Amino acid sequence: MSLADRIGGLRARIRRACEVAGRDPGSVELLPVSKKQPLSLIREAAALGFTRFGENYVQEGGDKAAASPELTFVLLGPLQRNKAKPALQHFAEIQSLDRPELAERLRHLAEDLHVVRPVWIQVDLWDEATKLGGCAEADLPALIAALGGDARLPLRGFMAIPPPEDEGAFILLAKLRDRLQQDLGQPLRLSMGMSADLEAAIAAGSDQIRIGTAFFGERNN
pLDDT in tens, 77-112: 999 999 999 999 999 999 999 999 999 999 999 999
pLDDT at 130 over 60: no
Closest CA to 137 of 172, 88, 109, 113: 172
Mention every residue, 6+ apart, whose C-beta is less than 8 A from residue 179. none
**pTM listed for this prediction:** 0.94
pLDDT the model gives residue 220:
61
The torsion of the CA quartet 79, 10, 197, 177, rounded to 10 degrees, works out to: 60
Beta bridge partners, 209, equal 30
Whether the predicted pLDDT of 131 surpasses 60: no
What confidence score (pLDDT) does residue 44 get?
97
Q: Given this model, what pLDDT does residue 165 score?
A: 74
- Assign 218 a pLDDT band (cuts: 50, 70, 90): confident
Residue 174 · residue 205 · CB < 8 Å: yes
What was the pLDDT predicted at 74? Answer: 98
Residues in the chain: 221
**96-105, 108-117, 155-164: range with lowest mean pLDDT:** 155-164
CATH superfamily of 3-216: Alanine racemase (3.20.20.10)
State the DSSP code for 91.
-
Please give the pLDDT value at position 125: 86
Average pLDDT (156-180) is: 90
Sorted by where each begins, the domain ranges of the chain are 3-216
pLDDT higher than 80, residue 72: yes
pLDDT digits (tens, 9 = 90+) for 181-200: 999 999 999 999 999 899 99
Measured distance CA(195)–CA(79) in Å, rounded = 24
Q: Is the pLDDT of residue 162 over 90?
A: no
pLDDT at residue 212 greater than cutoff 70: yes
Q: Greater confidence, 55 or 220?
A: 55
In the prediction, which pLDDT does 128 show? Answer: 61
